[in-house]
């Protein structure tokens, strides 16, 4: 059995009782950064072996981990924050487990884009999740496609690239497109800035930007011909 266990975004209280129960029961916990995960586990007095599983080694070890699961060893996969597989490692291992008929169970829990989307004030009946944008190759093509997207868009960004991405969004979408920029979600200095792309750029240009960021951007408004009923 492989358990995918969401972990808190920042506030350590944002973990389910079931997640804690699973982490207590498994033989091994796969994690991105043992130092980060150790803090969470120590807080809840969980003492289990930790094994690194991250974007730099997953291609090399996912098959070996699947071998261990196949032999009957229950494992949990966690990330530094949020749900495994959402812009974090998990896909390769899950696919291998499915291929081998190894049971996979994903627990519900913390995911950064959900609170950012819900509190944005933008339409959420239909939305798309793009995660982290390409840095160079394919960036122009993607922005060109998204410029005509009518659904609300959810993007992840790092603090060092936020201003550059806002500039690109202004270029392709227009300065008046509405957005909500959320950072430091669930933490003491959580911020949710709502306004136009231009207003967001002005706001974040005047301060030091910290924390992982979720960008929620309004879709292109559909043109309705008033002559057509």
Q: What is the pLDDT of residues 47-69, one digit of tens each?
A: 999 999 999 999 999 999 999 99
pLDDT tens for each residue of 8-47: 999 999 999 999 999 999 999 999 999 999 999 999 999 9
Q: What is the pLDDT of residue 225?
A: 52
Q: What is the CATH number of domain 2-106?
A: 3.40.1010.10
Q: What is the pLDDT of residue 176?
A: 97
Q: What is the pLDDT of residue 223?
A: 54
Contact (Cβ atoms closer than 8 angstroms) between residue 159 and residue 213? yes
Mean pLDDT, residues 216-222: 92
| CB neighbour list of residue 225: distance below 8 Å, 6 or more residues apart | none
What confidence tier does 227 reach under pLDDT thresholds 50, 70, 90? low
**178 pLDDT above the threshold of 60:** yes
Q: What is the pLDDT of residue 228?
A: 52
**Please, where in the chain does CATH 3.30.950.10 lie?**
113-217
Q: What is the CATH number of domain 113-217?
A: 3.30.950.10
CA distance 120 to 178: 10
pTM beyond 0.95, yes or no: no
Compute φ and ψ for 27, nearest 5 degrees. Answer: -80, -35
Averaged pLDDT of the chain: 95
Q: What is the pLDDT of residue 158?
A: 96
177-216 as b/e: b if 16+ CB within 10 A? bbbbbbbbbbeeebbbebebbbbbbeebeeeebebbbbbb
Which region among 78-82, 115-119, 193-197, 222-226 has the lowest average model confidence (pLDDT)?
A: 222-226
**Please, where in the chain does CATH 3.40.1010.10 lie?**
2-106
Compute φ and ψ for 96, nearest 5 degrees. Answer: -65, -40
**224 pLDDT above the threshold of 80:** no
Beta strands in 53-110 (DSSP E): 75-77, 104-106
**93 pLDDT above the threshold of 80:** yes
CA distances from 15 to 69, 73, 110 (A): 25, 24, 7
Q: What is the pLDDT of residue 183?
A: 97
How many residues are given for the chain? 229
């Amino acid at each position: 059995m492989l358990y995918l266990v969401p972990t808190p975004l920042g506030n350590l209280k944002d973990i389910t009782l079931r997640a804690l129960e699973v982490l207590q029961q498994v033989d091994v916990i796969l994690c991105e950064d043992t130092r980060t995960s150790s803090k969470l586990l120590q807080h809840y007095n969980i003492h289990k072996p930790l094994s690194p599983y991250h974007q730099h080694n997953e291609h090399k070890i996912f098959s070996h981990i699947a071998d261990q699961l196949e032999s009957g060893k229950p494992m949990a996969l966690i990330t530094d924050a949020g749900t495994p597989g959402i812009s974090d490692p998990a896909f390769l291992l899950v696919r291998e487990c499915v291929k081998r008929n190894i049971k996979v169970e994903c627990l519900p829990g913390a995911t950064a884009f959900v609170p950012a989307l819900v509190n944005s004030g933008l339409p959420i009946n239909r939305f798309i999740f793009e995660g982290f944008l390409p840095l160079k190759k394919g960036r122009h093509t993607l922005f060109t496609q998204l410029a005509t997207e009518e659904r609300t868009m959810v993007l992840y960004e790092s603090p060092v690239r936020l201003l550059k991405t806002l500039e690109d969004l202004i270029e392709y979408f227009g300065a008046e497109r509405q957005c909500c920029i959320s950072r430091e979600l669930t933490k003491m200095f959580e911020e949710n800035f709502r306004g136009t792309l231009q207003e967001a750029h002005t706001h974040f240009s005047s301060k030091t930007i910290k924390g992982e960021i979720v960008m929620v951007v309004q879709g292109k408004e559909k043109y309705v011909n008033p002559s057509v009923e």
